[in-house]
Amino acid sequence: MPEPLSAERIRSALPMVAPFRVDDDVDGSALVADFLAPDWRTAIELVRVVAAAAELADHHPDIDVRWRTVRFRVTTHSVGAVTDLDVSLAAQIVDAARRLGVRPAGDRS
């Protein structure tokens, strides 16, 4: 069973998985990030690539698609907390987005 990460461990991991942030909602603690794709087709392609990686890792994000915006929420449901599995999945999502030219939402650089 994966171990919940301490707040300190999560804080130190966040720069490696920017733009993910900590979100404590009614369903528990999670890492959340919003991405804005250039078009809907690319948004769906990002979901497809992340879904394949999630299957390989047997660790699955919550995904919310609204036209070109995709929100990923990663948490370890069986533990009810953020674990190393979530940091690893968040890193894969960031990498997939970068390769597909999908920017973090709100990124104007």
Q: Residues interacting with ligand H2B, by CB under 6 A?
A: 58-60, 76-78
Report residue 17 as tokens: 């998985």
Minimal distance, residue 109 CB to ligand H2B, in Å: 30
74 vs 15: CA distance, rounded Å: 16
CB closest to ligand H2B, residue no: 78
- Check if the beta carbon of residue 69 is closer than 8 Å to that of residue 34: yes
Cβ 89 vs Cβ 77: under 8 Å: no
- 42 vs 86, which CB is nearer to ligand H2B? 86
Radius of gyration of the chain (CA): 13
The least distance separating ligand H2B from the CB of residue 57, rounded to whole angstroms, comes to 8
Tokens at residue 100, please? 């597909």
Shortest Cβ 108–ligand H2B spacing (Å): 31
**Shorter beta-carbon distance to ligand H2B: residue 59 or 97:** 59
